[in-house]
Amino acid sequence: MNHLPEQSADRSVPTSADVARLAGVSRATVSYVLNNTSAVRISEPTRRKVREAAESLGYVPHAAARSLRAGHTSIVLLPTARVPSGAFFGRFFTELHEALRRLDYTVVQYGSLGLGPDEAARAWAELRPVAVVSFGEIALTPHGVNVLKRSGARAVVTLGPECVEGAHSLVMDQRGIGARAVEHLIGRGCRNIGVVQPEEPALAPFSALRLAGARTAADGTGARVEPLALACDEKSAAALAARWRGLGLDAVFAHDDEYAMLLMRALQDEGIRIPEGTAVVGCDDTLIGRLLRPRLSTVHIDLVTGQQLAELVDRAVRAPDGTGEQHDVMETWVVHRESS
């Protein structure tokens, strides 16, 4: 814990007691007025006095004290290791936020970079969230789920590559994504298929599984699968493209649409035609892919909408006896365009 200077004692933060004193009433009355408690009736003049006192002091209730007293929070925790980049997660996140807010939850994205899975779960549990929606950048273990539930979380939802015991899991089958791409490429007659492995560490868990799925799909078909390290910059792409002909590949699954754009450009600059020389498949079905020429074939992931997920969370929170554990797998399929 870092040692912070004491908060200004001179201009200290006003409490409900200060409001009560200024309004000439008790703390209880202040609470009743400011929370519009319907169980008790407070006279209009008193209400006004309290409101004015609160206003003039700049009183803001202390969320920690309130939730301590209440015994629960309305926090929905969205752990975020890396900020999900791109249009794919972006819209989803915004939707989810909005929907949860409409349901009167306090949405908190808690950054947990550099924590192990169980450390992270503990850190989240300290906030006593009523629900946790994890996006799989951080692995949530069964033990972690247990810690969260024991700390009072009424819903734990994971949206990741694998289902997690104890949590309501929405499985985004990363192996399946790799498999879909490679099956598609094999179907188009390709036999030597590169699979991009981004060097960005946050993407490693995804790309490793996609590679595994790609291998499974190629198994026994006579096709070859070749991992290709690639950083998200032009130099790296140019270097890869420069040794492309030596690799003897006729297709590549580029991890996502952005990497696909990067690599496609480098290959084109190297004089390699797409899809004749090399077929390219991206992932996420973003706008980029439709704007590229040739138009990019891509793996579409049928992500649940933010609204639906928010409703799922809300149902689990309100359910009488915890969440019925449930596992859904998201569909994935290839959108075939011109690059393959």
Partner DNA sequence: TTGAAAGCGCTACCAG
Partner DNA sequence: CTGGTAGCGCTTTCAA
Which residues are near DNA by CB under 7 A? 12-13, 15-17, 24-32, 34-35, 37, 39-43, 46, 59, 61-62, 65-66, 68-71
How many angstroms separate the CA atoms of 8 and 14, rounded?
12
What is the token pair recorded at 316? 């689990």
Among DNA, its own copies, none, what binds residue 24 when CB lies within 5 to 8 Å by partner kind? Answer: DNA
Sheet of strand 297-301, all strands in order from the earlier edge strand to the far edge: 224-230, 192-198, 251-253, 279-283, 297-301, 332-335
The vertex-67 CA angle with 64 and 69, nearest 5°, equals: 110
| 300 contact choice in DNA, its own copies, none (CB below 5 to 8 Å, kind-dependent) | none
| Residue 244 interaction partner, one of its own copies, DNA, none, beta carbon < 5-8 Å per kind | none
Closer to its own copies by CB, 61 or 277: give it: 61
Query: How long is the chain?
Result: 340
For residue 50, the surrounding DSSP H or E stretch is helix 44-57
**Least separation in angstroms between CB 64 and DNA:** 8
Rounded Cα gap, residues 271 and 145, in angstroms: 51
CB-nearer residue toward DNA: 60 or 235: 60
Nearer to DNA, 42 or 212 (CB): 42
In the bound state with its own copies, the residue whose beta carbon lies nearer, of 19 and 211, is 19
Question: Which of residues 20 and 262 has its CB atom nearest to its own copies in the complex?
Answer: 262
Three-state secondary-structure class, residue 206: helix
- Shortest Å, Cβ 69 to DNA: 4
Tell me how far, at minimum, the Cβ of 314 lies from DNA, in Å: 21
Closest distance to its own copies from the beta carbon of 169 (Å): 18
101 binds, among DNA, its own copies, none (CB under 5 to 8 A by kind): its own copies
* Ordered DSSP codes for 220-288: TTT-EEEEEEE-SSHHHHHHHHHTHHHHT-SEEE-SSHHHHHHHHHHHHHTT--TTTT-EEEEES--HH
Supply the minimum distance, in Å, between the C-beta of residue 320 and its own copies.
6
